[in-house]
Amino acid sequence: MMAFDWSNRSGQVLAAGQALENATFGPAPGQAPTIVLLHEGLGCTALWRDFPQALAEATGWGVFAYSRQGYGQSEAAPLPRPLDYMKREAQVVLPALLDAIGFENGVLMGHSDGATIATEYAGGVEDFRVRGLILMAPHFFTEAMGLAEIAKAKEAYDTGDLRARLAKYHAHVDSAFRGWNDSWLHPDFNAALTSDAIDYLRIPALVIQGREDQYGTLAQVEEIETRSYAPVDVVVIDECRHAPQFDQPQAVLDAVVDFALRLGRIEAAQVEVA
């Protein structure tokens, strides 16, 4: 297999048999730590907008973004999607992806579904290269208010202009939307959306939550605060809904830079002791 060329900046990478769209920003692995971005339930590489570049510039770290199967310009995902699709992404696809891009050390930074996937990875896969987690608006269980918003999205997709708007970013728009929406609205989904991975976390986490998040309450944050054995820093941002990186980008960048600097000091101290 050919080595991944970080300098290409955009293209596709093969992981676990899936051809996945990706984009790179800042220095390559080996030159600096890497932040791997995991998008939300209807996100993709392009829908991070200018945030990855801003993240790379603010931290000095490399940033890798990719579109999961069914999203963006990645290959379509078969439907119906398994209800435990986030755990499968964490345990099957993400390990192969990190190997494929030559990941050496850094953090997983996820938004919404992506934050849950990052937690599943850190709690379920032994990988000492991952030194920390940054979780924006994570989901560990369903909440009535969030499900109501997801039901509204279904109506907008079926009868409004949501499908047309999403089709600008997703080559297989039905695969993207139905895979997410049908899963979340399935009566058995909460049982599949387990938070058991939290109990096995052994690396620091930064949790960022908008106070006005329409998809989840602070109960999601409290779940990881009370159950993780590793340190958990929490930043709750006012005047912020479900996408902190867009509603309050500077607050997010400030929190991430502070977290990255502290991780760097921890790494340096460990090397000095060794």
Pick from 227, 235, 230: nearest CA to 255: 235
Task: Assess contact for 22 and 65: CB atoms under 8 A.
Answer: yes
Predicted pLDDT of residue 3: 82
Pick from 21, 44, 192: nearest CA to 112: 44
Instruction: Read off the pTM.
Output: 0.96
Q: What whole-number distance in Å separates Cα of residue 106 and Cα of residue 34?
A: 5
Predicted pLDDT of residue 273: 44
Predicted pLDDT of residue 265: 84
Q: What whole-number distance in Å separates Cα of residue 81 and Cα of residue 135?
A: 23
pLDDT averaged over the chain? Answer: 95
Per-residue pLDDT of the chain (274 residues; tens, 9 = 90+): 568 999 998 999 999 999 999 999 999 999 999 999 999 999 999 999 999 999 999 999 999 999 999 999 999 999 999 999 999 999 999 999 999 999 999 999 999 999 999 999 999 999 999 999 999 999 999 999 999 999 999 999 999 999 999 999 999 999 999 999 999 999 999 999 878 999 999 999 999 999 999 999 999 999 999 999 999 999 999 999 999 999 999 999 999 999 999 998 877 776 554 4
**H helix intervals, the chain:** 51-59, 85-88, 94-100, 113-124, 144-159, 162-167, 173-184, 189-192, 218-227, 244-247, 249-273
Burial of 70 (0-12, 13-18, 19+ CB in 10 A): buried
Predicted pLDDT of residue 1: 54
The CATH number of 7-268 is: 3.40.50.1820
Q: Give the tens place of pLDDT for each residue, 249-265.
A: 999 999 999 999 999 88
Domain ranges for the chain, please list them: 7-268
- Structure letter (DSSP) for residue 200: G
Task: Assess contact for 37 and 52: CB atoms under 8 A.
Answer: yes
